[in-house]
Amino acid sequence: MTTTSLTPSIATWTPVCGVDDLTAERGVAALVAGAQVAVFLLADGDVLAVGNVDPISGAAVLSRGIVGTRAGSPVVVSPMLKQAFDLRTGACLDADAAVPVYPVRVRDGVVEVATAPTVTARVAT
């Protein structure tokens, strides 16, 4: 199992759940430092997290989206309007939008999410 490679050297971490509580290819929502975060366990064992709010619809639903891949990148497809968001970069693959990406680590079987995102994908202007 790997964790997000963009982990800052100094971070505050919030325990979210046990890694055994996650189901592969499904998301869970968590409140981390006042922000809604969607956490996903991928089939390969990676754990990734992005902001839970779909920037196109404004609904906090990405944790309930369909997990898959597009062009080799892991994505979540919003259940609202079906846009795909890259789980590693936060970029929307179907529109000029993005979600923040949060570092994740697993320590002693507990999934922890950094309290601040490290990446917010650029949106084309």
Q: Is residue 8 part of a domain?
A: no
Task: Note whether residue 12 is domain-resident.
Answer: no
Reported confidence tier of residue 6, pLDDT bands at 50, 70, 90: very low
Q: Is the residue at 101 inside a domain? A: yes
Instruction: Identify whether the C-beta of residue 25 lies closer than 8 Å to the C-beta of residue 41.
Output: yes
pLDDT tens per residue, range 13-47: 999 999 999 999 999 999 999 999 999 999 999 99
**pLDDT for the residue 110:** 98
The domain containing residue 89 runs over which residues? 21-119
pLDDT in the model for residue 120: 64
β-sheet with 110-114: strand ranges across: 13-18, 110-114, 104-107
Question: What is the C-alpha separation between 4 and 108, in angstroms, rounded?
Answer: 16
pLDDT of 1 above 90: no
Inside any domain, residue 10: no
pTM beyond cutoff 0.75: yes
Q: How does pLDDT run across 95-116, given as a tens digit for each residue?
A: 999 999 999 999 999 999 999 9
CATH of the domain at 84: 2.102.10.10
Interval 51-63: pLDDT, tens: 999 999 999 999 9
Q: Is residue 38 part of a domain?
A: yes
The span from the CA of 58 to the CA of 54, in Å, is: 5
Q: Indicate whether 33 belongs to any domain.
A: yes
The residue with greater pLDDT, 1 or 61, is 61
Whether 88 is in a domain gets the answer yes
- pLDDT (average), residues 70-82: 96
**What domain count does the chain have?**
1
pLDDT-based confidence at 11, cuts 50/70/90?
confident
pLDDT at residue 19, rounded to an integer: 98
Is 89 a domain residue?
A: yes
